[in-house]
Amino acid sequence: MYSVDTLGTAERLQNQIPESTMLSLARMGFGFSLDTFQREVSGRKLVIASDKDTGEPAGYAITSIGQPDEETMIYYIAVASGMRNQGLGRQIVSSCVTMARETAASALITHPAGEGADKFFRTCGFVDSPHVARYLELSMLP
């Protein structure tokens, strides 16, 4: 069982998340160095999925902060290789949707990197963005 938490920006995370956890997240999915990962998270929100029993990170998303009536962007989403195809990615996206709704964002958007990511986001309800070519979006409007 996993818990998914929306955390604050990188500036607030420095004291909340151990460096070893940040390094695990950095290597997951995209193989970032710790410095690159911290730069990518800087000024953005981090959504982390962790094993409820061990606390080990199992996946994450990096999103924009989100403002009322603006789009919230999912920049990156990653799930540990041994945890894929178990619904964890959907849980992470669901947390991103909740966060976007809480900030009154107009839509949640992403630019999928590759066919697999495109298919994944489409199964989560994303459609071609009418505003930006090669982006997918999920409207938050009723």
Using one digit for the tens of pLDDT, what is the confidence trace for 82-125? Answer: 888 989 999 999 999 998 998 899 999 999 989 999 999 999 99
Alpha carbons 44 and 113: distance in angstroms, whole number = 19
Question: What's the predicted TM-score (pTM) here?
Answer: 0.87
Alpha carbons 37 and 34: distance in angstroms, whole number = 5
Q: Which amino acid is at 61?
A: A
Give DSSP secondary structure letters for 4-25: EEEE--HHHHTTTS-HHHHHHH
48-53 long-range contacts (CB < 8 A, ≥24 apart) are: 48/4, 48/5, 48/7, 48/17, 49/2, 49/3, 49/4, 49/79, 49/88, 49/91, 49/92, 50/2, 50/3, 50/4, 50/5, 51/1, 51/2, 52/1, 52/2, 52/3, 53/1
Q: What is the pLDDT of residues 72-86, one digit of tens each?
A: 999 999 999 888 898
